[in-house]
Amino acid sequence: MIKQPLTGRLHTPLLLTLAVILVVVVPLLNAFGYISNFTLGNWGKYLCYGILAISIDLLWGYTGLLCLGQALFFTLGGYMMGMHLMRMIGGDGVPTFLSMVGRREWPSFFIPFSSFPFALLMIVFVPGLLAYVFGYLAFRSRIKGVYFSILTQALTYGAALLFFRNELLMGGNNGFTDFRMLLGYSLREDSTKRGLYIVTALLLVLVVAGCKWLTQSRFGLIQRAIRDSENRVLFSGYATANFKLFIFVISAVIASFAGALFVPQVGIINPSEMDTSKSLEAVVWVALGGRGTIIGPVIGAISVNALKSWASVGATADFWPLMLGGAFVLVVLFMPKGIIGLPAQIQGWIAKSRRAKSPEEPSPLSTPPEAIDP
Amino acid sequence: MSQKPFLLAAEGLNKSFDGFKAINDLNFYLDEGELRTVIGPNGAGKTTFLDLITGRTQPDVGTLLWDDAKHDLLKLNEYEIYRLGIGRKFQTPTVYNDHTVTENLILSLAGSRGIWHSLFGKVTSLQRDRIAEILTTIKLSKHSNRKAGELAHGQKQWLEIGMLLAQEARLLLVDEPAAGMTDEETYRTGELLLSLAGKHTIVVIEHDMTFVRQISQGRKVTVLHQGHVLCEGPVDKVQADERVIEVYLGRKSKAA
């Protein structure tokens, strides 16, 4: 009863095929040398960004909360993983980021990060708790719309300033880098990189499946109702603040996991990942791919970043921000449903032109499916 | 306070907006099972009164007690008041435009409003039957899978009444249900409200006097004027009241 029959039927086999390609076929092709390690590494990054994009869309596209702080949760996850990886470097003494500020011993809060399960717990807990406290205060005070966006951006900016300070003992400006081992595997090995890619692809598949389920449940109905008419939802007896808080924390944790997988693949984490432009860029991926869908943001994240990898080398490098901005404007003006809405849009155009040519016989396409009485 | 227990008792309510007294020393008592019609010219404070009851606005002073003074409504927020069984239909139809008619009703069904339930609760066959029954009552069975935003204005009004029915509210606050409806739709809306009287306590705010006469036969009508109860009584008595004619009915040729 709570589903869109047309899209649901068509999408599931397609999505399963895509999942198999990403999780199984691509790593196999890499193992046999058909896909270079460099390309695979790039795709690992893109998929992390795809997960980040979904977390934004859960808030923006589904609940109407434009959060400009998802890069913060992404980076926090990255830092938690980074702390574990720094502890795993081994050797005598402490890494440069500590000796640089005159520390000869590890600060006590680093010690438990030697344990991978503890790091994993923190990847969930730290961004989750921050989102809970911030969301609790914001939603209880009924902060909405652009004010919410500005606050999330300010939070991210504040956090970035904090992380830039060496006194925080989190590596300051340079952050963490020079990672070596993860769970006993060398990060320099091709097989480890492939493994990380597979885990990322699996996580993406899991997040997509989970979000599909979530948005098709009654919770999803309430989410979209809050987006469209929050007052009505309040007057239907729902404590909307709790629902927003729940999805805000879920999104933060999803973004955090994406960041945690991102860091060992790119080999560095520093506060520049929290930059305001990073959060905004991620919002652009969602808009380009198609907000209010689960797959759209992933498509947006992958295509924009693939384009960026291609365009930001050589002569076109200076024009990349212009290209991205231009694409955003074009999509907002002409493709309100993004890339994923394009087939339906083209279908609509064809139907329209056909109708214009032969007004006598309406084509079956010209009747939108919603207009037919069951 | 009176000896008789009231379902809803409002005493000494005052609310002003920037110096304008929207509600001025309002006293209002409602018995269980009543179908009360509230009339009054524009700006009489009818909608503000509903805002106060449902927790949308806080009064400057006054008391609002529910169910024989068991609950103080002024201490509760919107959704807590709703959970006491007070449902509201807004003046402009307020439905979820992007949801289907059925989904609108599912969201309004009585039952848990928790997150856990929203994730794992299933729509039971009993609830499904209830939805089908409501769809028949509000004559939207054929449109159950259409998006609410595509419905005609009158159909949206009916859907919103259907949402109140799904909620199984004890008190239905119905703000101008006949607005924008044809005469026939208005009459049918009246029939619907009459069929619900007794099962629910209902407060109807209305302008259309034909409609008011239809639903208030033998029942009490309250006239609001400048945020104050001007008079109360059977519809004929109210319509004959000099003061009412002066402030309200006299200005409306249609109502005379």
DSSP collapsed to 3 states, B99-138 = CEHHHHHHHHCCCCCCHHHHHHCCCCHHHHHHHHHHHHHC
CB contact under 8 Å between B96 and A239, yes or no, is no
Tokens of A176: 């963490």
Q: Average of pLDDT values for A269-296? A: 89
Residue A179: which of A283, A101, A269 has the closest Cα? A269
Mutation site for B-interface testing, chosen from A236, A238, A243 by largest number of B Cβ within 10 Å: A236
Q: Average of pLDDT values for B234-251? A: 77
pLDDT of residue A362: 45
pLDDT of residue A372: 38
Task: Measure in Å the smallest separation between the Cα of B35 and chain A Cα atoms.
Answer: 21
Rounded-to-integer distance, Cα A353 and Cα B138, Å: 39
pLDDT of residue A251: 96
Q: Does residue B64 lie within any of the structural domains? A: yes
Task: Measure in Å the smallest separation between the Cα of B139 and chain A Cα atoms.
Answer: 14
Q: Average of pLDDT values for A308-320? A: 80
pLDDT tens for A338-348 read 888 888 888 88
Q: Does residue B165 lie within any of the structural domains? A: no
CB contact under 8 Å between A218 and B146, yes or no, is no
Q: What is the domain range of residue B48?
A: 8-93+170-255
List B201's β-bridge partners, or say none: B171
DSSP readout, B39-89? E--TTSSHHHHHHHHTTSS--SEEEEEETTTTEEGGGS-HHHHHHTTEEEE
Would you say residue A88 has pLDDT above 60? yes
Q: Does residue B51 lie within any of the structural domains? A: yes
Closest-approach residue (CA) in chain B for A140: B77
- Using a CB-CB cut-off of 8 Å, the residues of chain A touching B150 are 370-371
- Using a CB-CB cut-off of 8 Å, the residues of chain B touching A1 are 102-103, 106, 123, 128
Write the residue in B79, B96, B121 that is nearest to A225 by C-beta.
B96
Q: Average of pLDDT values for A149-177? A: 88
Q: What is the complex's ipTM, to 2 decimals? A: 0.81
A354 touches chain B (CB under 8 A): no
Least confident window among A297-311, A360-374, B168-182, B204-218: A360-374
Q: Average of pLDDT values for B27-39? A: 90
Would you say residue A200 has pLDDT above 90? yes
Q: Does residue B127 lie within any of the structural domains? A: no
Q: Average of pLDDT values for B119-142? A: 88
Q: Average of pLDDT values for A18-30? A: 84
CATH code of the domain containing B251 = 3.40.50.300
Q: Does residue B122 lie within any of the structural domains? A: no
- The domain total for chain B is 1
A371 touches chain B (CB under 8 A): yes
CB contact under 8 Å between A231 and B82, yes or no, is no
A99 touches chain B (CB under 8 A): no
Q: Which of A63-72, B121-130, B228-237 reaches the highest mean pLDDT?
A: A63-72
Q: Does residue B131 lie within any of the structural domains? A: no
CB contact under 8 Å between A218 and B78, yes or no, is no
Q: Does residue B180 lie within any of the structural domains? A: yes
List A278's β-bridge partners, or say none: none
How far is residue B180 from each of residues B83, B91, B92, B93, B97, measured CA to CA in Å? 30, 10, 9, 10, 18
Write the residue in B87, B113, B142 that is nearest to A238 by C-beta.
B113
**Band of pLDDT at residue B105, cut at 50, 70 and 90:** very high
Would you say residue B204 has pLDDT above 70? yes
**Band of pLDDT at residue B249, cut at 50, 70 and 90:** low
pLDDT of residue A363: 43
Would you say residue A361 has pLDDT above 60? no
- Which stretches of chain B sit within 8 Å of chain A by CB? 54, 56, 77-79, 82-83, 87-88, 90, 94-99, 102-103, 106-108, 113, 115, 117-121, 123, 128, 142-147, 150, 163, 167
Phi, psi of A358 (to 5 degrees): -125, 85
Q: Average of pLDDT values for B154-160? A: 88
Q: Average of pLDDT values for A17-42? A: 85
Write the residue in A221, A239, A374 that is nearest to B106 by C-beta.
A221
Task: Measure in Å the smallest separation between the Cα of B251 and chain A Cα atoms.
Answer: 34
Q: Average of pLDDT values for A94-116? A: 85
- Using a CB-CB cut-off of 8 Å, the residues of chain A touching B132 are none
CB contact under 8 Å between B115 and A231, yes or no, is no
How far is residue A257 from each of residues A24, A126, A180, A254, A294, measured CA to CA in Å? 21, 11, 20, 5, 17
**Band of pLDDT at residue A371, cut at 50, 70 and 90:** very low
Q: Does residue B129 lie within any of the structural domains? A: no
Q: Which residue has the higher pLDDT, A309 or A199?
A: A199
Q: Average of pLDDT values for A289-304? A: 91
